[in-house]
Structure formats: C-alpha cells, structure tokens
Amino acid sequence: MKNALLVLVGLAPFFSFAQTLQNDGSPATIVELYTSEGCSSCPPAEHALNQLKHSAGLWKDVIPMAFHVDYWNYIGWKDRFATSEFSQRQREKVSLGQASGVYTPGWFINDQEWRGFFARQSVPYAQGPRAPALKAEIKQDALKIDYDGNRLLRANFALLAMDIETSVKRGENRGRVLEHDFVVVDFASQLGRNSWTFPLKDKTEAPASAVAVWLTPIDGGDPIQTVAGWIEK
C-alpha cells in the first residue's frame, strides 16, 4: 500500500521545486480547530492539536488543521492568521447542522462538531474505508489534484504553517507567548470530478510546511479520500 508517497521532480517558481503526493489506501480523519489568538480559552486547545505532530499516524491517519477566525479581533488583539473566510466556513457548518453554534475553540472531526475536548478526551481519529487513488501535485504556481474515482465531489486543499510563536501584546492573552502548529495559511475548495486545479498564493505571514488535500461529498461529511504531507524544500 502506498500512502503519501513523495516524489520531487524539476523546478517550479512557487516553491522552487515540484512535488507529488499520492494515497491509494484509506482516507485519514480530518480534524479542524477553529481558534483565535484573541481567545483566552484557545491556547489549551491548540496545545492538544499541536501534539498530533508527534503521532505516528500523522497525515496517514489524521490531518490536523487550525483555522484562525477573525470575530475576536475587536477585543484588542488582531490575529494575523485570522480571515473572515474561515469565520464564514465555521458559520456554514452551523447552518448545515454540523455544529450547535459558533464559538472558539471549536472542534470538528470529519465535519461534525466534537466537544470531547471539554471533557478532557483525546482527539479521536482513524482511517476510513479504502478508496481510489488520490494524487496532488505542486507545480509552478498551482496545485493539481487527480482522483481515480468518478463521483461528483468537493475537493479541499490547505497549506499549513508550523512552529510559529506569537507574543501577544493586548487582549485576553496579553503577555502570553502562543505556540501554533498546523495553521491554515491558504485554503480553497471547489466541486468537480476526477481533477481539480487550485492557484497557490504566496503567503508572507508564515511559510507553508505541509499541504493537505481531502475530498468530501458535496455538503461535507466523512472524507472520501485524503492525501497530505510535508513540503520538501
């Protein structure tokens, strides 16, 4: 079984190289944490998410992501990783019945609200049923995705930044040094069959260290197939 096979070829302008990731096994669990540097309750949740980088099943069994929301920016500290797009993504999950409300820290396991963190439970994850092969290729200024299945699906991708520290000067976390991993610095999704292409944007706040791709049913839910891995530089 091949999982997250990495192959480096040639050179491309965006990352100064090209890279291919492939998974023809089973999909990983998608873990999304909605968080903010302006939220005093979020650092413990981020610490729990950060610990997944030590998991032997990282990328193969679990793909962690931290989406920073902007609705706490008004209370004194502007989160440099927060976007209105990520806040809206969380609101859409609520509108689809995938969560009871919009709040931070907000956890989602395969698009369903997970409140086990507040009961001190470990983040749950496991591989899903085996699926057709999924390949993602970073080349030039684009990410090209190819899937061997023929179902109409939503393709999602995220670039993730790691090993980030922020010294917060104001707001609820004033005086704290926050440690971030799996920070989403670029994200997009689109419907299609078999193949998708996403433009890649040059992010200045933090360089991407990993890339994640996951296919879901049109309205979300358990991933049909996933592939993710470290970006080789």
At 44 the pLDDT is 98
Burial of 39: CB neighbours in 10 Å, binned 0-12, 13-18, 19+: buried
At 15 the pLDDT is 60
Q: Is the pLDDT of residue 13 over 50?
A: no
At 106 the pLDDT is 98
> Going by DSSP bridges, is the β-strand pair 153-161/142-147 parallel, antiparallel, or unpaired?
unpaired
Please write the tens of the pLDDT for every residue from 57-68: 999 999 999 999
Please write the tens of the pLDDT for every residue from 115-140: 999 999 999 999 999 999 999 999 98
Please write the tens of the pLDDT for every residue from 193-210: 999 999 997 666 789 999
> Going by DSSP bridges, is the β-strand pair 3-9/18-23 parallel, antiparallel, or unpaired?
antiparallel
Name the residue range of residue 208's domain: 3-230
Count of structural domains within the chain: 1
Mean pLDDT of 154-163: 97
Mean pLDDT of 23-49: 98
